[in-house]
Amino acid sequence: MKADKSIGVLLILFGAFMYWQAGRLPAGTFGTGGADFVPKIIFVLLALSGAILAAGAYFKTRTPVEASGKIQKKSPGAAAKEILVAHKSVIVAFLVFFGYVILMYYLGYLIATAVFMPVMMWVLGPRTPKSAGIIAVVTVGVVLGIYVVFEKFLKIFLPSGNLF
Amino acid sequence: MVELFALGIGEVFQPYPLILLFLGTVAGIIVGCLPGFTITMGVALVLPLTFGMSSMQGLSAMIGVLVGGLAGGQISGILLGIPGTPSSVATVFDGHPMSKKGEPGTALALGTWASFFGGIISAFVLMFFTPPLADMALKFGPWEFFSLVFFGLTIIASLSGKSLIKGIISGLLGLVAATFGVDPMIGIPRFSFGVHAMEGGFSFLPVLIGLFAFSQLMRNLEKRETTEALVIEGNLKFSTAHVLKTIFKQPVNLLRSSLIGVFIGALPGAGGSIANILSYDQAVKGSKHPEKFGTGIPDGIIASEAANNAVGGGELTPTMALGVPGSAVSAIMMGALILHGIQPGPLLIVEFPDLVYGVFVAFFVAHFFMLGLQLYGIRLFVRLTRIPLYVLIPSILVLCAVGSFSVHNRFFDIWVLLIFGGLGYMMVKYKFPLAPMILGVILGPLAEVNFRRALMTEDDMALFVTRPISLAFLILAVLSLLYPFYQRYRQKRREERERQDAVKS
């Protein structure tokens, strides 16, 4: 798998970077090993595992045809477009949720959720008069249901928003 | 033991824990019967709701979800032919054909009763094996504990995915996540990168919800098929006498499958998804009519469902006795205890016998709730499988955000949810199992504390291999790492043999 090679390399780089970061931690005051001791072991193991993953993927995919370089490669632009099309709904949902989190940061749970729920359902669901009714009912139910259960029943606070 | 059991009964048989156990079981069945929604996700989403409760009440709700979820997977498996959870894959082999033959009610009742008996058998194992196991573990020093945790991590890495190296990387990423935050021994903040909110590290809950709930929802978006058209509209009626007679005619199948479930459940990493297939396979091998399997016979349903609910008791045993979880679900329960200020481990049963025996009792009672709910509320749950994803996904996403925030009332945790949700989605996309990662997050600090404590007690690494119990765990860890290679070797040999047989014939 081509992706495994890239993931392996990423893990090596990440492991090396974090090892360097661990080296900047102050050493312990007593006993063997300070705060950096165990993290360093983990980062070395992670980088090693990344190397094994990348090497495994490299030797697995080097078929004679590949080695000869005769395989037609897609341009990076075409490959990116293919990924975007295949994961359109996931990317859109992720972005809408991202927007929801920002909205919640400023406006709090109630307003942000009252906006997020219909938008997300509208993005994901069918756009018919019947579904509009469902969207309205579900939005009110979820916004108020979660508010009552958390704030009133369990006494757990919900984000109130930085603007208020 | 009777006194302690009575103590547990006193803890559970109060209005609030009982209601929560019941609601948890309902939630578990719902999560179980919705294809694409996992038990781990259900337990993760219930966890934030437990903050306002006592630890017993919170654990009751989560045990309800576990038991309900393990049994609920059969509903969509039998009626739709799509297992609701990986624990019910083998139930589909005979459950769906029986359903197609016009007996969906009987198939569901068989599965439910088999789940009930499997669960009750495992509850007895949980009750009788936890105390002596914890007693034995009380003699462990930090060397043994480190080796035990190391074994737990290696076995889950080697069993939970197709690729050993990807399992190991997933576990290591969990350990990496656990290194962020305050050093557990000397209190120095690690890897905060100048961000104040990072000094405390990543909270367990948003990491968990991100990995198991958020990423799962994103995956569900990829395959947004409606299941409505697939539901078999048949006669949901059944005769309890006939069903019980059928089950009791197969005591060996029932007992063998339940014990397989308990054993597999107790092994870290090897949960319901393996147990139901293994016990189905054993039922085929032990049957006088193996050719009938897959055509809709009760034997297959009994084997799969008894094993999958028995997993519950099996996986709770090492969690309650040793503080080493057997699966992602029990890891979450362990995390819930930690969030409530209770440190899991062998001392748990000594310090909180009411809680431990309360868990045993709750596990028993949840099976009775599950039985009643699934036998008599089946129509309602079938209807739930028709709720469109465009309604479910946004609602659960809101719950994810709110649940993550509620741990410390910190907005930073919602960003953690988003980061780990994205990471979890990518990991599954590239075939990295998620269970080792969450165990890494949970067991990382435990491994580190015991490792460093051992070195502080005696600055001699050799003690890890000269102390017999520690050595035994380390040998098991090495064997568990070698096991996938052995499996691959066996598979190659089998394929070779089959090829030779084909050439000969």
Strand, coil or helix: what is B417?
helix
> Given a cut of 80, is residue B85 above it in pLDDT?
no
Nearest-CA distance A68 → chain B (Å): 27
> Given a cut of 70, is residue B160 above it in pLDDT?
no
Sign of CA dihedral A11, A16, A20, A22: positive
Q: Rounded to whole angstroms, how far apart are CA atoms B138 and B128?
A: 17
Average model confidence (pLDDT) across chain A: 85
Q: Chains A and B: how many Cβ contacts under 8 Å?
A: 147
Which residues lie below 8 Å from residue B103, measured CB to CB, with a gap of 6+? Answer: B234, B235, B238, B296
Distances, alpha carbon B403 to alpha carbons A156, B293, B373, B406, B499, in Å = 10, 44, 27, 5, 54
Query: Out of A28, A116, A156, whose CB is closest to B394?
Result: A116
The one-letter amino acid at A60: K
Give B194's pLDDT tier (boundaries 50, 70, 90). Answer: confident
Q: What distance lies between CA B169 and its chain's CA centroid? A: 21
Residue B315's pLDDT is what?
A: 86
Residue B369's pLDDT is what?
A: 96
Give one DSSP letter per residue of B181-205, joined into a string. Answer: EE-TTT--EES-TT-GGGGG---HH
Pairwise CB contact (< 8 Å): B452 & A49? no
Which residues lie below 8 Å from residue A82, measured CB to CB, with a gap of 6+? Answer: A74
Q: Rounded to whole angstroms, how far apart are CA atoms A90 and B291?
A: 43
Q: What distance lies between CA B396 and its chain's CA centroid? A: 20
> Given a cut of 90, is residue B77 above it in pLDDT?
no
> Given a cut of 50, is residue B129 above it in pLDDT?
yes
Which residues lie below 8 Å from residue A15, measured CB to CB, with a gap of 6+? Answer: A43, A44, A46, A47, A48, A50
Pairwise CB contact (< 8 Å): A142 & B395? yes
The answer to which of B111-115, B376-380, B392-396, B414-418 has the lowest mean pLDDT is B376-380
Average pLDDT value for residue range B167-176: 92
Residue B179 is encoded by which pair of tokens?
A: 């290194």
Q: CA torsion, points B49, B50, B52, B54, in degrees to nearest 10?
A: 160
Determine what percent of chain A is predicted with pLDDT higher than 70: 86
pTM of the model: 0.81
Residue B88's pLDDT is what?
A: 81
Nearest-CA distance B51 → chain A (Å): 8
Average pLDDT value for residue range A31-46: 85
Spell B20-34 as b/e; 16+ CB within 10 A means b.
Answer: bbbbbbbbbbbbbbb
Residue B206 is encoded by which pair of tokens?
A: 């948003």
Residue A29's pLDDT is what?
A: 54
Q: Which of B175-179, B274-278, B317-321, B325-329 has the highest mean pLDDT?
A: B175-179
Q: Rounded to whole angstroms, how far apart are CA atoms A37 and B341?
A: 27
Tell which residue, B454, B444, B440, B453, has the closest CA to residue B185: B453
Residue B176 is encoded by which pair of tokens?
A: 């990496």
Average model confidence (pLDDT) across chain B: 86
The alpha-carbon radius of gyration of chain B (Å, integer) is: 22
Q: Rounded to whole angstroms, how far apart are CA atoms B450 and B146?
A: 5
Q: Rounded to whole angstroms, how far apart are CA atoms A12 and A25?
A: 20
Residue B226's pLDDT is what?
A: 46
Classify residue B502 by its DSSP letter. Answer: H
Query: Out of A4, A35, A156, whose CB is closest to B186?
Result: A35
B300 vs B185, more confident: B300
Tell which residue, B23, B128, B13, has the closest CA to residue B67: B23
Give B229's pLDDT tier (boundaries 50, 70, 90). Answer: very low
**Which residues in chain A have their CB less than 8 angstroms from residue B221's CB?**
89-90, 93, 124
Q: Which residue is closest to B172 within chain A, CA to CA?
A: A46
* Per-residue model confidence as pLDDT tens digits over B478-493: 988 888 788 778 888 8
Query: Out of A46, A121, A156, whose CB is closest to B406?
Result: A156
Tell which residue, B96, B75, B97, B98, has the closest CA to residue B85: B75
Write a three-state SS string for chain A.
CHHHHHHHHHHHHHHHHHHHHHHCCCCCCCCCCCCCHHHHHHHHHHHHHHHHHHHHHHHHHCCHHHHHCCCCCCCHHHHHHHHHHHCHHHHHHHHHHHHHHHHHHHHHHHHHHHHHHHHHHHHHCCCCHHHHHHHHHHHHHHHHHHHHHHHHHCCCCCCCCCCC
Pairwise CB contact (< 8 Å): A56 & B414? no
Average pLDDT value for residue range B367-388: 85
Give A18's pLDDT tier (boundaries 50, 70, 90). Answer: very high
Residue B362's pLDDT is what?
A: 94
Residues in chain B: 505
Query: Out of A22, A28, A121, whose CB is closest to B394?
Result: A121
Nearest-CA distance A77 → chain B (Å): 20
* Per-residue model confidence as pLDDT tens digits over A68-125: 555 556 676 777 777 777 788 889 999 999 999 999 999 999 999 999 999 999 988 8
Residue B169 is encoded by which pair of tokens?
A: 């990387």
> Given a cut of 50, is residue B445 above it in pLDDT?
yes
Q: CA torsion, points A25, A29, A31, A32, in degrees to nearest 10?
A: 20
> Given a cut of 90, is residue A141 above it in pLDDT?
yes
Residue B112 is encoded by which pair of tokens?
A: 């439910």
Query: Out of A32, A104, A131, whose CB is closest to B456?
Result: A32
Q: Which residue is closest to A43 within chain B, CA to CA?
A: B176
B274 vs B462, more confident: B462
> Given a cut of 50, is residue B366 above it in pLDDT?
yes
> Given a cut of 90, is residue B116 above it in pLDDT?
yes
Pairwise CB contact (< 8 Å): B52 & A53? no
Q: Rounded to whole angstroms, how far apart are CA atoms B336 and B50?
A: 8
Q: Rounded to whole angstroms, how far apart are CA atoms A98 and A135?
A: 20
Report the complex ipTM: 0.89
Q: Rounded to whole angstroms, how far apart are CA atoms B98 and B108?
A: 10
Residue A71's pLDDT is what?
A: 56
Phi and psi angles of residue B181, each rounded to the nearest 5 degrees, phi first = 105, -165
Give B82's pLDDT tier (boundaries 50, 70, 90). Answer: confident
Pairwise CB contact (< 8 Å): A26 & B188? yes
Q: Which residue is closest to A11 within chain B, CA to CA?
A: B169
**Which residues in chain B have their CB less than 8 angstroms from residue A38's CB?**
179, 447-448, 451-452
Q: Rounded to whole angstroms, how far apart are CA atoms B399 and A149?
A: 11
Q: Parallel, antiparallel, or unpaired: how do β-strands B189-190 and B181-182 relate? A: antiparallel
Pairwise CB contact (< 8 Å): B391 & A138? yes
Residue A106's pLDDT is what?
A: 94
Pairwise CB contact (< 8 Å): B393 & A120? yes
Tell which residue, B295, B293, B310, has the closest CA to residue B256: B310
Nearest-CA distance B108 → chain A (Å): 31
Strand, coil or helix: what is B488?
helix
Give one DSSP letter per residue of B88-108, joined into a string. Answer: GHHHHHHHHHHHHTT-HHHHH
Residue B310 is encoded by which pair of tokens?
A: 């028995």
Determine what percent of chain B is predicted with pLDDT higher than 90: 26
**Which residues in chain A have their CB less than 8 angstroms from residue B51's CB?**
154, 156
Query: Out of A29, A117, A155, whose CB is closest to B394?
Result: A117
CB atoms within 10 A of CB A14: 16
Sign of CA dihedral B59, B153, B481, B164: positive
> Given a cut of 70, is residue A1 above it in pLDDT?
no
Give one DSSP letter per residue of B261-326, joined into a string. Answer: HHHHHHSTT--HHHHHHHHHHHHHHH-S-GGGTTSS-HHHHHHHHHHHHHHHHHHHHHHHHHS--S
| Domain parsing of chain A, residue ranges | 2-73, 85-153
Residue A18 is encoded by which pair of tokens?
A: 């974090």
